[in-house]
Amino acid sequence: MSYFTAKKLKEARVNAGLSQDDVAAVLKISRRKVTAMEADENPILVDDVIQLSYLYKVDVREFLFESYIDQGEEQVLFNRYASVFRLFDQLSDKDKEDVVWVLKQRIKGYI
């Protein structure tokens, strides 16, 4: 894809605390392929980028768009959770209260 994507893939793997061997085992690919992706030696398949975004818990746009990274943290968070907010807005007031209650319980560690 690009040097930018390769660099971001490596950063995300390191931040996730995974080795190239770990990634290769999870994705059932060779370690050499992981190394090649991170070195921008071979084209990276979109499917691989999507799988890596799930594995690293990183928005796929962070691997693809430099402009996405340049946004402020608040904007990145908004973009990441915009669909959740749209769904939340469609809930009834009672359902919204229930969701907020569940989130509070989760934050407190009760659930």
What pLDDT is stored for residue 84 in this prediction? 82
Residue 6 and residue 41: Cα distance in Å, rounded?
A: 9
Helix (H, G, I), strand (E, B) or coil at 111: coil
pLDDT recorded at residue 25: 96
Of 46, 81, 75, the residue nearest 5 (C-alpha): 46
Q: pTM for the complete prediction?
A: 0.60
Q: Among positive and negative, which fits the CA dihedral 57, 61, 63, 68?
A: negative
pLDDT block averages, 10 residues each, the chain of length 111: 87 95 95 94 88 91 71 70 84 94 92 86
**Cβ contacts of 69 within 8 Å, gap of 6 or more:** 8, 62
